[in-house]
Amino acid sequence: MINDSTEPMKLEAETVITTFENYGEAWGLYIGLTLLLAGLVWFSFRKQHFLLKWLLTSIVLAGALCFGHPAEDVETYSPLILNTMVELFDGNKEQFFSDIQFIAMIWGILFLFGTAVWLLICYLRKGNKEGAPAKQKENRRVEQKESTQEEPKVSERSSEKKPIEPTIGDDV
């Protein structure tokens, strides 16, 4: 008879744990905060090389945005990194390593994709500079001559300086 009285309580607790009213809004807020964190990491390392910034930012994105079911027979999702920590604390090492491998695989794909896009952009920019028609090159030469003839004041020069983003091959 004791089992009969605790049965409804158990079902109610499972319902509260697996579903809640603001599930979509919670995920929206979580994804927004994750993107904010990734932006802060990127901004913190803004003077560093692109690959270092992308490495750290992609780790944050992959770690936070992989999702999985928190338990068997549960329809909702939660961040996989949280599920992984619960598996570790519960002593389920097989599932822990499986989750870590999945997160690492997603990070690797994300990092390689971002690096490939960056290299493609660098290649296209370099190609545009080298492959410019002769008329554009002549116009640049004339503009450079005019700019060297008129020496700007020291205060004007310092305000016009822009930081230069390092690229692959700068160290050569």
Residue 31, in any domain of the structure: no
Say how many C-beta atoms besides its own lie within 10 A of residue 99's C-beta: 21
Query: How many distinct structural domains can be found in the chain?
Result: 1
Question: For residue 116, what pLDDT is reported?
Answer: 96
Residue 75, in any domain of the structure: yes
Residue 145, in any domain of the structure: no
Query: Radius of gyration of the chain from Cα atoms?
Result: 27
Task: Supply the range of the domain harboring residue 75.
Answer: 54-133
Residue 128, in any domain of the structure: yes
Question: For residue 6, what pLDDT is reported?
Answer: 57
Separation in Å, CA 42 to CA 64, 119, 143: 15, 18, 35
Q: Secondary structure of the chain: what % helix, strand, coil (to 5)? A: 75, 0, 25
Q: The whole model's pTM is what?
A: 0.61
Q: Could you tell me the two tokens for 115?
A: 């690096």
Question: For residue 1, what pLDDT is reported?
Answer: 47
Residue 65, in any domain of the structure: yes
Q: What is the pLDDT along the chain (172 residues), one digit of tens a residue?
A: 455 555 555 555 555 555 677 888 888 999 999 999 999 999 999 999 999 999 999 999 999 999 888 877 777 888 888 888 888 888 888 988 999 999 999 999 999 999 999 999 999 998 877 655 555 666 666 677 666 665 555 555 556 677 777 777 656 5
Residue 80, in any domain of the structure: yes
Residue 90, in any domain of the structure: yes
| SS3 at position 79 | strand
Residue 73, in any domain of the structure: yes
